[in-house]
């Protein structure tokens, strides 16, 4: 297939990092599907912004933890052709120290990040394989690499995602498809605002500043392009030197 406009899906597009990734991929010429479960108004506004700016974006609404609902939406999308760039960005925090963590907190976080990866990626894979070109990029976290107090559930989910990234990369490398993970550290987003003081950032981050959503998005855009065709099975950090 030519390297012209490819169809890309970004899950969790309503958040700061997801939105930045969507903008970057749209500016690189992709037709971008903006996924959200909650935050529908934000993704609708983002789609309007991109479409009025000359790019091409469409909104998809489904719960990545609901396998039948996810499949129903993706089947409709696939009728127009394969998705060749997939960014699994959907994820949630539900923090608590482990002795006080409820079963619901444990399962919800893993369900979105890990089962959501399976529910979205698997039905898109065979159509992608048939084109013999594809990019799968999973958004992980520095918590998967160095841990974080109060986030045993989140670190477990993202650590498993890193392992799935490496294994899937081996399975489909010969099909012209790369699979990589991007592991952000402390990123300045609406979600992280107020969680990290300047003093804590200076202590934790060698570069002594938070990263930006755009810095994550630029790396994702590179991994989604032709130039990254020989990069696969990697967990690449964007964390100012934390790990």
Does this model's pTM top 0.75? My answer is: yes
pLDDT tens for residues 202-229? 989 999 999 999 999 999 999 999 999 9
pLDDT tens for residues 79-109? 999 999 999 999 999 999 999 999 999 999 9
Inter-residue contact 74 to 68 (CB < 8 Å): no
pLDDT beneath 70: ranges in the chain? 1-4, 191-195
Write down the CATH number for the domain with range 7-235: 3.40.50.720
Q: Where are the domains of the chain?
A: 7-235
Q: How high is the pLDDT of residue 215?
A: 98
Active site residue 33: no
Inter-residue contact 35 to 9 (CB < 8 Å): yes
Q: How high is the pLDDT of residue 157?
A: 98
Please pick, among 154, 219, 223, 238, the residue that the annotation labels catalytic.
154
Tell me which residue has tokens 């506004």. 45
Please give the C-alpha separations between residue 195 and each of 7, 22, 44, 131, 221, in angstroms, as whole numbers. 35, 25, 28, 43, 28
Q: How high is the pLDDT of residue 1?
A: 38
């Amino acid at each position: 297939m030519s390297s012209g406009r490819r169809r890309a899906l970004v899950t969790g597009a309503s958040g700061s990092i997801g939105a930045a990734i969507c903008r970057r991929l749209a500016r690189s010429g992709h037709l971008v599907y903006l996924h959200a479960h909650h935050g529908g108004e934000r993704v609708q506004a983002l789609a309007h912004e991109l479409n009025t700016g000359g790019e091409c974006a469409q909104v998809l609404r489904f719960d990545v933890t609901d396998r039948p609902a996810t499949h129903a939406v993706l089947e409709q999308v696939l009728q127009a052709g394969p998705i060749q760039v997939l960014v699994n960005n959907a994820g949630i925090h539900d923090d608590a120290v482990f002795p006080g963590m409820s079963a619901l907190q444990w399962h919800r976080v893993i369900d979105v990040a890990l089962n959501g990866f399976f529910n979205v990626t698997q039905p898109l894979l065979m159509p992608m394989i048939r084109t013999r070109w594809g990019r799968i990029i999973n958004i992980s976290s520095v918590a998967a690499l160095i841990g974080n107090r109060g986030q045993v559930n989140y670190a477990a989910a993202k650590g498993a995602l890193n392992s799935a990234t490496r294994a899937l990369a081996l399975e489909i490398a010969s099909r012209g498809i790369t699979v990589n993970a991007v592991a952000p550290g402390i990123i300045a987003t609406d979600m992280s605002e107020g969680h990290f003081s300047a003093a804590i950032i200076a202590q934790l981050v060698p570069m002594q500043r938070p990263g930006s959503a755009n810095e994550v998005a630029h790396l994702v855009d590179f991994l989604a392009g032709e130039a990254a065709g020989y990069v696969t099975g990697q967990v690449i950090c964007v964390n100012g030197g934390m790990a």
